Amino acid sequence: MSKTRILEEGKGELIGWHDPDENREYVLKHKSRELKDKRMSAQEVVSSFIKDGDFIASGGFGHVRVSMVLIYEIIRQKKRNLAMAGKTAVHDIDILIGSGCVDRVEVAYCFGHELRGLSPAGRRAVESGRCKVVAETSNAGYQWRFLAGMMGLPFIPSRNLLGTDTLKRSSAKVIEDPWSGKPICLIPAAYPDVAMIHVHRCDIYGNAQIDGIIIEDFELARAARKLIITTEEIIDHERVRAEPWRTTIPFYVVDAVVEMPYGSHPCQMPYRYFFDEEHIGEWLKMSKSDEGAKEYFDKYVFGVKDFEEYLELVGGIKTMNRLRRVEQLREPMTAPWLKKGE
């Protein structure tokens, strides 16, 4: 039998990959099929699940439905040398890089804040070498790394990345498709050590429901070795069973459940609250210097005992109600970065 000829090979570092059999062993050993109460506090879950050097991935879309409650706790517990999936990573990764927790990233989209512009903290870190880009890919490229992971496959074939420098700096390879004879890209599986996904509701076992777009959380949840669900609310298990089609993430892939209303603040939670642009704007302004970023963390992370205290500090229920009105289009958004010259 002829050996597969590799036509091209990316130079990027392959992170989070495991032999599928090795991962099956992990699943058999560590993923329980028992319905058990998985509720924990953010503090407990971060200290027992996330260790220095881990490869982590955040659900949602960078600043939409992200688990800020866990991200602030990671900063508070001063986790170090984390690698993170830049699978459209926006505010989540910006403050994790800015606080010195994340120092390696595989980039589909990173160091930017979409319409708000570029991230001062993230860019400073990457341009000075404090944060290293280990590989490049695209959004579909990352998404399909998780797809291969959840399918228990070593890779998934695709027709993106081909012909570009993105491929040359990725961890993908190109071979000849044995059917069509055309070059085909092979995207390696990714199994993050820890994924953190914020959802609208789940039961105490982790059966989770997401309102609106799922983004890539369906695949990420099933590919991750450890999965922490944070939720706006805990619902009765009977509600899950009454409407089972609403379950996007089933309990057997979930390792812990943390209940935290407004747990995505200052990021958006679809249908519930809009981005707190005043707060994100404050971060973007303060993070223009290392001193400013430190001041931000001293005030909003180290200056409070937990996420609930942080929510009070940013205006409590009054702020949350305003963000709900903006989300529901009953009030226009405001943002300091909208003003000229800012």
Partner 1 sequence: MAREIKYTEPELLACTAARILENKKSVFVGTGLPMIAAMLAQKTHAPELLIVFEAGGLGPQMPVLPISVGDSRTFHRAVAASSMHDVMSVSQGGYIDFGFLGAAQLDPYGNINTTVIGPYEQHKTRLPGSGGANDVGSFSQRTIIIMRQDKRKFVEKVDFITTPGYLTGPGAREAAGLPKNTGPYRVITQLGVYGFHPETKRMMLLSLHHGVTLEEAKANASFEFGVADRIEVTEPPSEKDIRILHEEIDPVGIVLKK
Stretch 280-309: interaction string toward partner 1, x if CB under 8 A: ------------------------------
Longest pairwise C-alpha distance within the chain: 69
Asked whether position 90 contacts partner 1 by CB under 8 A, the answer is: yes
SS3 of 18, please? coil
How many Å separate Cα 138 from the centre of its chain? 15
6 contributes a contact to partner 1 by CB under 8 A: no
Question: Smallest Cα–Cα separation from 336: which of 288, 279, 286?
Answer: 279
Rounded distance between C-alpha atoms, residue 228 and residue 218, angstroms: 14
Q: Which residues contact 127 (CB under 8 A, 6 or more apart)?
A: none
Complex with partner 1: residue 161 or 202, whichever CB lies closer? 161
16 near partner 1, rule: CB under 8 A? no
Count the residues of the shown chain that bind partner 1, applying the rule CB under 8 A. 68
Cα–Cα distance for residue pair 281/13, rounded to 1 Å: 34
Taking the complex as a whole, the smallest distance from the CB of residue 108 to partner 1 amounts, in Å, to 6
Tell me: does residue 208 bind partner 1 (CB under 8 A): no
User: 9 has which bridge partners?
Assistant: 173
Say how many residues make up the chain: 342
Contact pick of 53, 163, 303, 316 for partner 1 (by CB under 8 A): 163
| Shortest distance (Å) from residue 275 CB to partner 1 | 6
Q: Which of 23, 67, 99, 143 binds partner 1 (CB under 8 A)?
A: 143
* By the rule CB under 8 A, 173 interacts with partner 1: no
**DSSP-H helix ranges across 51-152:** 68-76, 91-98, 120-128, 139-150
Task: Check binding of 185 to partner 1 (CB under 8 A).
Answer: yes
Please state the closest distance from residue 223 (CB atom) to partner 1, in A. 12
115 binds partner 1 (CB under 8 A): yes
Q: Give the chain's radius of gyration (CA, Å).
A: 20
With contacts defined by CB under 8 A, name the span among 13-21, 50-58, 235-243, 334-342 that binds partner 1: 334-342
Residue bearing tokens 């089609």? 245
Alpha-carbon torsion (57, 59, 64, 70), positive or negative: negative
Q: Residue 128 in contact with residue 97, Cβ under 8 Å?
A: no
Contact between 152 and partner 1 per CB under 8 A: no
Binding mask 310-329 for partner 1 (x = CB under 8 A): -----------------x-x
**Of the two residues 50 and 172, which places its CB atom closer to partner 1 in the complex?**
172
Q: Does 58 bind partner 1 (CB under 8 A)?
A: no
CB 112 within 8 A of CB 105: no
Provide CB contacts within 8 A for 86, sequence distance 6+: 93, 105, 106, 107, 108, 109, 110, 142
Q: How far is the CB of 139 from partner 1 (least distance, A)?
A: 4
Residue 340 binding partner 1, by CB under 8 A: yes
268 forms bridges with which residues in the sheet? 64
The residues of the shown chain that bind partner 1, judged by CB under 8 A, are: 60-64, 86, 88, 90, 107-112, 114-116, 118, 123, 126-127, 133, 136-141, 143-144, 147, 158-166, 169, 174, 177, 182-185, 212-219, 268, 270-271, 275, 277, 327, 329, 332-335, 338, 340
